[in-house]
Amino acid sequence: MTEPVTDTTTAEAGSADEADAEAPAENADTVKEAKKYRQRAQAAEAERDTLRTRLESMQRNEVERLAAEHLKDGTDLWRDGAQLADLLDDDGNIDPDKITDVTQTLVTAHPHWRKLAPAAPPASIVTATDKIAPGEKQATWSDLLQGRNTK
């Protein structure tokens, strides 16, 4: 008696083909997901770079404003090679003491960069800024020349 021979190779080959068909589908999903995450990372890096540039610009403007308390032109601070990183504290914030030190060094080296004191007080201090109260009579030249007291 001979037993019937069954071909198991075709059954095994059929299941392998099904597994191969599923693998590219899973691989394609993985590739799409990886691409999505790469694009997100690139967008986040671009936004980070934009924000870094904006922060640096704002910090430079603030440093120049603080330097202008001692210098005619706050932008002169950068002319002798000062770097923004040298004017920040350990936490990355602007350190006013470092700015003062650098500007004092610059004023010593370049006295013509020093901010000069105003030659005269502002006009608002010298002249009256109050309105004349109603009912008060203002003295005229003729009143003064005739010796009349207007008070």
pLDDT value of residue 145 = 84
52: pLDDT strictly greater than 80: yes
Tell me: pLDDT of 9 over 70. Answer: no
* Helix, strand, or coil (residue 64): helix
Nearest by Cα to 62 from 90, 54, 118: 54
* Residue 64: how many other CB atoms lie within 10 Å: 17
**Higher local confidence (pLDDT), 130 or 39:** 39
Its pTM stands at 0.57
Which residue type, as a one-letter code, is found at position 20? D
Number of H helices, E strands in the chain: 4, 0
Which region among 41-45, 62-66, 99-103, 114-118 has the lowest average model confidence (pLDDT)? 114-118
In the chain, what are the domain boundaries?
20-116
